[in-house]
Amino acid sequence: MVNATRNEIVSAGAEPRPILTTSEQRLVAEALRRAEETRNVMEDALVGFGRWMLVSVFDDDASAALEGRSANAVWADLVRRAGGPTLRLNKKLLYVALHIAARDKRITDESWRNLEPGRKALLLPLGDEGLMRGAAQHVTSLKLTQRATQKYVTSLLAERGEARAVRVTAPRVTAQLRQFRERVTDKAFERKAVAALKAADYAEGKAAIRELEAVQAWATRVLRRLQPEWGVHVSTLQRPSFPRSGARLRRSKRTRGPSARPLTAKLPVPLPAAGPGLAARCTYAINSSVTIDSYAVMPH
């Protein structure tokens, strides 16, 4: 009976929850215990590092740590090294550690002090210490989880007409694109992904196709917007309307520049509603990248 129901899903609030066996429940309980120990160690280490930076790098001056960081050469060098081989903490953790230490020194409210570093970090985007103090009191009184705290902060920012600041830089965009590309273009992953999608039911397959088309559309939009600055050549493939039987396709005489070289290639698949003897051909204009230009329908 257990084997028959182990993969069933039951509703638990807004999230599904799998049915677990007794042994699996014990494993989850042990994992939760170890995860809590890990969180405590990590947060204690982060807070300790932040306090050390506040005292040793900024002479225990919270104002200098919050408002005058750019003038501190040691801090500037730490930021430069963050995420690299000599400092394997990313910039976000570096900032969070210092900010929590500085806010701890300036916010003496008991509600703030009772919060663990994880929820303090979620309140940092509020910026104003008065707002942080009030938010800490609200979070503490309602015993909000980190997930609920994040939603609460987002609502506060929305009320002020603000949104969470998302720092976007060219290196960060490039790194995220490279990470995505290296993952999805891996041959083993691609082979498994195709096999999984072929075996999926109709709804799952259509959902995957919609996501792929959304990614393709996004990439095309971005490339078009970069075209003036970086000379990106983007041409949208416009599928021609299928001609009646006995007609053929011929490319118009327009070219995309003096360096264009015409090539003729047969379409790889027969056109729908095409009768016998249909000669469907298209010409590609090559100018830095392969593009497909306009088509003209010509009678035989």
Domain boundaries, the chain: 2-159, 170-230, 247-299
Q: Could you tell me which residues are beta bridge partners of residue 286?
A: 261, 290
- Whether 58 contacts 72, CB under 8 Å: yes
Instruction: Determine the pLDDT at residue 279.
Output: 38
Residue 145 tokens, joined: 């989880």
Three-state secondary structure along the chain? Answer: CHHHHCCCEEEECCEEEECCCHHHHHHHHHHHHHHHHHHHHHHHHHHHHHHHHHHHHCCCCHHHHHHCHHHCHHHHHHHHHECCCCECCCHHHHHHHHHHHHHHHHCCCHHHHHCCHHHHHHHHHHCCHHHHHHHHHHHHHHCCCHHHHHHHHHHHHHHCCCCCCCCCCHHHHHHHHHHHHHHHCCHHHHHHHHHHHHHCCHHHHHHHHHHHHHHHHHHHHHHHHHHHHHCCCCCCCCCCCCCCCCEEEEECCCCCCCCCEEEEEECCCCCCCCCCCCCEEEEEEEECEEEECCEEEEEC
Please state the pTM of the whole predicted model.
0.54
What per-residue confidence (pLDDT) applies to 161?
77
pLDDT reported for residue 183: 85
pLDDT score at 123: 95
User: In this predicted structure, what is the pLDDT of residue 133?
Assistant: 93
> How many Cα atoms within 13 Å fall on the side-chain side of residue 79?
13
Largest CA distance in the chain: 87
* Cα separation, 243 vs 255, whole angstroms: 23
**β-sheet bridge partners, residue 296:** 250
Q: Which two tokens stand for residue 260?
A: 């264009």
The Cα–Cα gap between 285 and 262 comes to 5
Task: Report the DSSP beta bridge partners of residue 280.
Answer: 249
pLDDT for the residue numbered 102:
95
Residues 152/138, Cβ–Cβ less than 8 Å: yes
Class of residue 264 by CB neighbours under 10 A (exposed 0-12, middle 13-18, buried 19+):
exposed
Q: What is the pLDDT along the chain (300 residues), one digit of tens a residue?
A: 344 343 433 433 446 788 999 999 999 999 999 999 999 999 999 999 999 999 999 999 999 999 989 899 999 999 999 999 999 999 999 999 999 999 999 999 999 999 999 999 999 999 889 999 999 999 999 999 999 999 999 999 888 876 555 667 888 788 889 888 888 888 898 899 899 988 988 888 889 999 999 999 998 898 888 876 665 555 544 444 444 444 444 444 444 444 444 444 444 444 444 444 433 333 333 333 333 333 333 333
Residue 144, pLDDT score: 93
Pairing of strands 281-287, 289-292: antiparallel
